[in-house]
Structure 1
Amino acid sequence: MDKEIETLLEMVKSANRKPFWQSTPQEARSGPMLMALLFGDAPSVERDESFTIPSSGGFDLPVRLYVPSANPKGLIVYFHGGGWVIGTVAGYHPFTATLANRTGCAVLSVDYRLAPEHAFPLPVDDALAAIRWGASPAAAKAIGHEPPVLVAMGDSAGGNLATVASRLHNASSPARRVDLQVLAYPVTDHRFDTGSYAEFAEGNLLTRNDMKWFWDHYCPDTSKRSHPDASPMQARDLSDSPAALIVTAGRDPLRDEGEAYGQRLKDAGVPTEVVRGEGLVHGFLAMINYAPSAGRAFETMAAAIGRVTAR
């Protein structure tokens, strides 16, 4: 573990902050996220703009589009983390601006509806609407040319939405498929019985009780949690999923389910790479300018996107 992460864990422990699972959603949203505390200032991007796209129930879905150059190499549709309860496009602005510059791709950052006000499946509806927009002529018009590569990307709960929405989109036999999914420490199952859940139940930023709290808000009807659009690990057929890179954190309750999901994708014939970030904790994308190992994990993701855009 990097000394910077060790220091961070000690700081969190000594701060004695109120955990998510003892908070209301409003209280959880009011505190600063790791991105604001650790990432640093956002870099400038050649062009970015905010607008809305249509989603289910007449909802106008807010998004922010980053265009790093006149001819971006592709389009990344990005879904932020936060357990489906917290997190915003504005809060992720430093990261998504960095992602656009580093990969040379346009990035569409999605402010999907949050639970408990908008529980499952509404966030999935928003994620699918964003992917479909990214595959449409409207995206090419907004970007300035048709992006040759379409990537779905997200972290934590956003990784869950990215993989579900990209599978649903590709399964619909669209004219434009998702080419790659990049998932950072994704939520893939609703059960809390893996070895990493037992080993890292406490003390590494995200706890088992926190995840139970997130699931209780996102999908309060426990009978629906095995639905493959909530828990993609439970899908019978993953063969429509795009090629995948999954990067897990070695000290994360979600580690084992992310890696097991990668194996399920491989078993379905989906080209998949699974990389474990040893010593990393949940939320490490906020730490790429803070801890060297987090920076290396991000470079692994950028390199995978670079290989697809170079074809």
Structure 2
Amino acid sequence: MSVAFSASAVIPTPTPAPAPAPAPSWSLLLRAKALRQAASVSLGIQHYTTPIAPSPSLTEYIDSAIGSSPATKCIRLDIYHPPNTPTENDNEIQKRPGLIVFHGGGFVIGQGTDDSRFAQAAMDILGCTVFAVSYRLAPEHPFPIPVEDCLSSIIHIIQFENARKYGIDNEKILLSGFSAGGNLSFSALNILNSPNDCDQYQYNIPNNLPKIKGIILFYPLLNYSIRREDKLKTISKPEYGLPTSLTTLFDSSYLPNAIERGIDRKEIRISPGLASDILIKELPPVFITLCEYDMLRQEGIDFIHRLEGLGKDVKWSEVKGEKHGWDKQPSMWIKPSIMEEYTKALNAAKEWLDGEL
């Protein structure tokens, strides 16, 4: 039997598949907790390889007093003191610098002690006291809570009475952050440098805070407005990029229902690299470490070029043949490149501090 087709017949256009529904909050939370446990075990093994990572000299909990979700004793500070740390009772002027570090983990996993090896390197090279900040995590605490926790921690540490208690000079404070922590440290610094814009966030920033002397960023997320799939296209080996299942968990947890909540991903608390030229010119010296096979590499390169174009003091390094978070990957031995790159960044910071003497 033959079938005749009319010349005017219209072939129906296939209906596109509906977009997948966002994961329910309980599912995000279960996945996040499982991932945190796995990451903790992995880094715990790495920390016991030779040389053994240092333990904090002191751990304390401070309030988050800035922003939308203030809470008491919700931010953990793991404090690493080098030998001969001055105390608030010393008569001599405090000379020790302070370094505030924000861990990575996609705003969902991680804790301050993840960066204990970096803390050791900083104590060795800078003779500084290191404050590793464990901010509240998504999905339980989505944007803007992690930014506000980091801002609260900086303000707490840099205020004179607290700096004196910790034995540091609040005129010699550096910031650092890894991945999401780089985003948070930079976002918090933008807020500190733009007090006239704080009214829109309803932040009560103390007056006359000392300026931050420099910021060290490791493979930071600087531009959240670029889609993850587009970021993957910028690296020569996209198979080395973070898996979609992981980045989807991170993004869905940190920015849940972003469109419904009216969240603009270009906002400077989310994409600090998109801050205005006026605000970028307020930045202290910057050092950025990037990884060759990282989906965040290109936005880092673009930001470096922008800083250079504005005449800012910026130095950078690229870890060849490595992917995002190369220094946190599970291993029974420590890659030589880890301490090499930490040393490059911290030597730059030493120059910033020495320039103040």
For Structure 1 versus Structure 2, the TM-score category normalised by the shorter chain is: 0.7 to 0.9
Q: How does 1:84-163 map to 2 (within 5 A)?
A: 84-163=107-186
Q: Secondary structure at the match of 1:131?
A: helix
Counterpart-to-counterpart distance in 2, 1:216 and 1:197? 23
Counterpart-to-counterpart distance in 2, 1:88 and 1:99? 18
Q: Secondary structure at the match of 1:152?
A: strand
Contact 1:201–1:208 (8 Å) recurs in 2: no
- Which deviates more, 116-125 or 167-176? 167-176
Of the three residues 208, 226, 240, the one matched with 1:203 is: 240
Contact 1:280–1:294 (8 Å) recurs in 2: no
Partner of residue 313, structure 2: 271
Normalised TM-score (structure 2):
0.73
In structure 2, list runs of 5 or more residues that go unmatched. Answer: 1-27, 87-94, 196-206
1:102 Cα deviation from its structure 2 partner = 3.9
Counterpart-to-counterpart distance in 2, 1:228 and 1:151? 20
1:251 Cα deviation from its structure 2 partner = 1.5
1:58 Cα deviation from its structure 2 partner = 2.9
State the AA in 2 paired with 1:31.
A
Of the three residues 76, 83, 86, the one matched with 2:106 is: 83
Query: How many pairs does the alignment contain?
Result: 288
Of the three residues 61, 65, 73, the one matched with 1:55 is: 65
Partner of residue 179, structure 1: 213
In structure 1, list runs of 5 or more residues that go unmatched. Answer: 1-20
Contact 2:98–2:129 (8 Å) recurs in 1: yes
1:163 Cα deviation from its structure 2 partner = 0.9
What root-mean-square deviation, in Å, do the aligned CA atoms of Structure 1 and Structure 2 show?
Answer: 2.6
Share of identical aligned residues, percent?
26
Partner of residue 216, structure 1: 252
Counterpart-to-counterpart distance in 2, 1:292 and 1:184? 16
Normalised TM-score (structure 1):
0.82
Counterpart-to-counterpart distance in 1, 2:234 and 2:133? 29
Render the CA deviation track for 1:129-166: whole Å, top value 9, x for unaligned.
11212321133222224244111101000000111111
Partner of residue 266, structure 2: 226
1:175 Cα deviation from its structure 2 partner = 3.4
Is 1:43 matched up with 2:54? yes
